[in-house]
Amino acid sequence: MEFRSEKAIVGLIVLAAAPALLAQQAPLEYKVRHDHWRKGCDGVLAVTSEGVTFRGAKKHAWSWKFDDIEQLKVSDRTIRVTTYRDRLMRLGADVTETFDLKPGENTRAAYDWLRLRLDQRFVAALADSDLAPVLWEAPAKLLGTMRGSQGVLQLGADRIVFNTPVRERSRTWRLSDVDNISRTGPFRLTVVTFERGRAQYGDRREFNFQLKRPLPDAPYDALWQRLNQNTGLKILTSYKEKTQ
C-alpha cells in the first residue's frame, strides 16, 4: 500500500509539472520586421530547442541550428543572428541577420530560456531586473567611441548588469561570459567579455566604465576570485595539493 501511495504521489507530481515542461519546450514566437537591403519584410521569428527559424512574407525563410550560430544577440527590441557565412562585400565579415520586434512583443522569455541553455555565444543586450542579491551598485558611464551611455552598474553573485536607457547598450553578463575584469583606480572598471568585437573579427570586447562612486576592494576582489576560480586559482589549488 505504501508503495502504491508513493507511485500515486509521483504520478501527481509529474502531471502537475507536465504543463510547465511542455511550455518550456514550446517554440517562442515573435512577430518581427527583418532588416535587409531591399526594404525588409515582416515575418515570424521562433526560438526553439534546436535553434532559430524565420518565416518571412516574401518567401524569405531561414533555419539555424545552434551549431550554425556564431553569436545570438538579444535586446529588448531586437534579435540579431550572426552566422558563420561570409559576406563577400564586407571582406569576409560574417553575415548578421537583424530582426526588430513588432510593438507589443517582448524578448524576456527568450532571454530567460537562452541564458540557461546557450553558451558564450549568447549576448544579452538588456538588463536583468531580477538580479539578487546585489552585492554592489553605482551610477556609471559606459564609454563609447563617440558618446558614452549613462546608467547603473550592478555586481551580483553570478552576474554583472549594466542598465541604461540607450538602446542596445544595456548588458547582462553571466560570469561565464566574462573573460576578465580590471581597474585602474576606484572609479574605473573594465569588463572584458567574449562578445564579438566591433569589426566582427575579434572574439573579445572591452566595456570601460567610469564609476560615479568608488568601487571598494571587497566586492571587486570577491568578483575577481569567482571569475578566476576555474582558471588560475584552480591551477594553484592543484599545485598545492600535489606538493602536500
The pLDDT value recorded for residue 134 is 94
Map residue 179 onto helix, strand or coil.
strand
Name beta bridge partners: 28: 47
The pLDDT value recorded for residue 22 is 35
Give the CA angle between residues 167, 171, 175 to the nearest 5°. Answer: 170
- Range with the lowest mean pLDDT among 23-27, 65-69, 129-133? 23-27
Query: Is residue 18 over pLDDT 50?
Result: no
Q: Beta 93-101 vs 78-87: how paired, if at all?
A: antiparallel
Backbone angles phi and psi of 188, in degrees to 5: -135, 135
C-alpha cell at 59: 518567401
pLDDT in tens, 182-205: 999 999 999 999 998 765 456 889
The pLDDT value recorded for residue 8 is 39
Q: Which of 128, 131, 148, 129 is nearest to 140 (CA)?
A: 148
Query: Is residue 242 over pLDDT 70?
Result: no
The pLDDT value recorded for residue 146 is 86
Map residue 77 onto helix, strand or coil.
coil
The pLDDT value recorded for residue 57 is 78
Mean pLDDT score, 53-79: 92
| In this structure, CATH architecture of domain 127-233 | Roll (2.30)
Residue 113 near residue 28 (C-beta atoms within 8 A): yes
User: What is the Cα–Cα distance from 243 to 149, expressed in whole angstroms?
Assistant: 49
Helices 232-243 and 217-228: crossing angle, nearest 10°?
Answer: 70
Helix residue ranges per DSSP H, 26-97 = none
pLDDT in tens, 144-153: 988 999 999 9
By the 10 Å C-beta count (0-12 exposed, 13-18 middle, 19+ buried), 174 is classed as middle
Query: Is residue 6 over pLDDT 80?
Result: no
C-alpha cell at 206: 572591452
Domain at 27-124, CATH class: mainly beta
CATH code 2.30.29.30 region(s) in the chain: 27-124, 127-233
pLDDT in tens, 116-127: 999 999 999 999
Q: Which of 141, 109, 144 is nearest to 126 (CA)?
A: 109
Q: What percent of the chain has pLDDT over 90?
A: 63
By the 10 Å C-beta count (0-12 exposed, 13-18 middle, 19+ buried), 100 is classed as middle
Which one is predicted more confidently, 90 or 210?
210
Mean pLDDT score, 24-44: 83
This prediction has a pTM of: 0.81
User: What is the Cα–Cα distance from 131 to 157, expressed in whole angstroms?
Assistant: 9
Q: Which of 168, 166, 162, 199 is nearest to 181 (CA)?
A: 162
- Range with the lowest mean pLDDT among 128-132, 133-137, 154-158, 236-240? 236-240
pLDDT in tens, 156-183: 999 999 999 999 999 999 999 999 999 9
Query: Is residue 93 over pLDDT 60?
Result: yes
Map residue 66 onto helix, strand or coil.
helix
